Amino acid sequence: MNIKSDTKALDTSQVVIEKITLPSGDIREKVYNKGKFLGKGGFARVYELLCEETGEVFAGKFVPKNLLSKGRARHKLMSEIKIHRTLHNKNIVQFHHYFENDEFVYILLELCPNQSLSDMLRRRKRLLEIEAQCYLAQVLLGLKYLHSHRIIHRDIKLGNIFLSDKMEVKIGDLGLAAKLEYEGERKRTICGTPNYIAPEILEGKQGHSYECDIWSFGVLMYTLLIGRPPFETKDVKTTYRRIKMNLYMFPDNIDISKEAKALITSILVLDFTKRPTIDQIFQNSFFTKNLYPRLMPLSTLVVPPSANYIKQFLTAQGENEKDPIRASSQESQKSREICQSDKKRNHSRDPEKGKTQNSKVTPFLSSYKGTENDGPDIWVTKWLDYSARYGVGYMLSNKSIGAIFNDCTRIILSPVGDVFQYISCTSEGENVSTYNLSTFPQDLHKKVMLLLLFKRQLGPEETQKIDVKSSFHNVKKWSSTAHAVIFRLTSKVIQVCFRDNTELLLSSEKKCVTFVNKVKETCSYPLTSAMDCGNKQLTKRLKYSKEVLTTMLKVQKIN
């Protein structure tokens, strides 16, 4: 069937007329009434279109032909149409048909009256985990269908995830989609939305495939739960730089489950070969810890679901996971046995090497030995990463033992006596309480038991002089990135421990930066001139540290 069309000027006419040439040569007209404006993107503007003949309502995509004058733009649009018209899945926006005239190409798509997840998040700020589970599971089903047809979407983002009248997820806008000619093919076109684009697309060296959609899915998940994309900055270049460095963190003031954090962390990795598959994501504890609805109620477009509604989906397992600190006596005993059976100390900062084959946690060690006169007086000498369950335990150079828990509270044990401080954050600032190990509130029992566990695992192996005056200095913030672990101490020291065993220690009080290189050589420079010292290893790490600290401070400001 040969299809042609005619239309009046887009800006003034409320009617679109499609002229269809029948096999007999006769012309049949199909009239569409243009309704409200739905949105725009790329070359196109989208309006509601009501077919007078059938009463059907479509989302009509209007693409001006004067913007398709270049062959590449025309080819791109035809490629989108060719791919989209072959897809038939409940979680993909349905393609109906297209027609054109001298001025426009019109694409008629399934109408999603409840707009997109971007519109919802604009109203709601962020979603509850049970809502995210519902929407993300449907996104995964849509992606699985696309990938099974050798199609990479390449633009998964909030604005391209639409909601039907039944609140069913529909993946739309296949303008950047690509079909692989054969399994194993890798595309090399640099495309995507800045906040969601995968690092391998930016690098372009090894090409990209289905894994770039998995990365974007991880960004989508983070954004739904946190309320903003993980790598978002004021300018695109900085955003791209942070994506390439995988530099992001979870805000302290937003409570999300350890399962959610773990899944996001497993997805947002630079090495695309290490990202989980769609099936592995479905099997992740984030999706299996509790039941969740197949579709959300219409009311959740503007308000969160009620507590009673949520309660019906939470299993006993889901209820137990609410406690961010779980340190029962059995768990403490198990950790004690791990400590006693594993006498070796780990000298690598690679988090995977911080575990034995039985997932036993062993301490990481600082490369700095305190040999520099201009170096800091207080720094982290050892630490244990239990962040998947409890938090991080550490020892300072003055032999104090401390911990930062996953609920952002802190505890520090003096190296002399049995006195400890417990620090919690309130709306009015920090609340510091001092207790003795023999008498403390019952609600701190789990955390004190963990502190004592950390003391046994990190305890001093030799007797050294103890600075009593600094006994309650502690780590105020910590962060872990793909390349380093960063500690901010109350002694105004920032310690950056890189995975390659190099280390930076920046002291505000001494106005000095101390650097430990790969062969354990230590040197110090004034902060004001460190970037001009001629040490390339140092300047490279200073630049990286600046990016990380800027992000940390930005998150703190938002908090």
**Count of CB atoms within 10 A of residue 506's CB?**
22
Say how far apart CA 84 and CA 96 lie, in whole Å: 9
Going by C-beta distance under 8 Å and a sequence separation of 6 or more, which residues neighbour residue 62? Answer: 10, 44, 45, 46, 47, 104, 106
**Count of CB atoms within 10 A of residue 318's CB?**
20
Q: How far is CA 509 from the centre of its chain?
A: 35
Determine contact, residues 182/83, Cβ cutoff 8 Å: no
**157 assigned ligand-binding residue:** no
**In which element (H, E) is residue 282 found?**
helix 278-282
Determine contact, residues 240/194, Cβ cutoff 8 Å: yes
**Is the alpha carbon torsion for 506, 511, 517, 520 positive or negative?**
negative
Half-sphere CA count of 348, side-chain side, radius 13 A: 8
Tokens representing 312? 């019906």
Complete edge-to-edge strand list for the sheet that includes strand 410-413: 364-365, 380-386, 391-396, 401-405, 410-413, 419-426, 429-436
Tokens representing 471? 């006994």
Helix, coil or strand: residue 498: strand
Distance (Å) of CA 539 to CA 53, 225, 513, 545: 69, 36, 11, 10
Determine contact, residues 452/469, Cβ cutoff 8 Å: no
Say how far apart CA 103 and CA 542 lie, in whole Å: 55
Please list, residue by residue across 397-412, b when 16 or more beta carbons sit within 10 angstroms of its beta carbon and e when fewer do.
Answer: bbbbbbbbbbebbbbb
Which positions are catalytic?
A: 155
Going by C-beta distance under 8 Å and a sequence separation of 6 or more, which residues neighbour residue 409? Answer: 422, 423, 424, 425, 447
Please list, residue by residue across 198-227, b when 16 or more beta carbons sit within 10 angstroms of its beta carbon and e when fewer do.
Answer: bbbbbeeeeebbbbbbbbbbbbbbbbbbbe
**Count of CB atoms within 10 A of residue 51's CB?**
17
Determine contact, residues 379/495, Cβ cutoff 8 Å: yes
Say how far apart CA 265 and CA 263 lie, in whole Å: 5
Helix, coil or strand: residue 465: coil
Helix, coil or strand: residue 427: coil
**In which element (H, E) is residue 163 found?**
strand 161-163
Amino acid at 500: D
Binding-site positions for ATP read 61
Binding-site positions read 61
